[in-house]
Amino acid sequence: MFETIQCLIDQEAQICIPARHLTPRANLYELGMTPYTAIRLLLAVERDFRVEFPRDSLNRRTMATIENIIRGVRAAQFAPAYEWLQAA
C-alpha cells in the first residue's frame, strides 16, 4: 500500500522531492502540495484502492501524510460494513 501511495503522490501531488524519499509522516503540504493537487491525489487513491472516503474524513489532515492516507484507506475499506451494521 505504501509503495502505491508513493507512486500516486509522484503522479498527482507535484511536490518538490520524489515520494520514495518521504517518511510516512512527511507533511505533503509543506513539500508543495496544494489543495487542488490534494484533491487529485484523493481521487487517485480512491480509484486505485476502490474505496470512497467518508465525508467526515475529507479534510486537509487526511491527505497531509502517507501515514494519514493509509489510515483513511483502511477506514474507508471498513466503512461499508460498519454502515451496514448501523442500518440493521
- Tell me: the pLDDT tens digits for 9-51? 999 999 999 999 999 999 999 999 999 999 999 999 999 999 9
Domains and CATH numbers, the chain: 2-87 (1.10.1200.10)
Confidence of residue 80 (pLDDT cuts 50, 70, 90): low
- Encode burial over 54-83: b for 16+ CB neighbours within 10 A, e otherwise: eeebeeeebbbbbebbbebbebbeeeeeee
CA 18 to chain centre: 17
Q: What is the mean pLDDT of the chain?
A: 90
Question: In the block, which residue shows the cell 479534510?
Answer: 59
Report the pLDDT value the prediction gives residue 84, as an integer from 0 to 100.
42
74 pLDDT higher than 70: yes
Report the pLDDT value the prediction gives residue 88, as an integer from 0 to 100.
46
83 pLDDT higher than 90: no
Which cell numbers hold the place of 38?
A: 490534494
The alpha carbon torsion through 37, 40, 45, 51 (nearest 10 deg) reads 130
Q: Where are the alpha helices (DSSP H) in the chain?
A: 2-12, 35-49, 66-87
The lowest-confidence range among 20-24, 75-79, 83-87 is 83-87
Residue 61: partners with Cβ closer than 8 Å, 6 or more residues away: 68
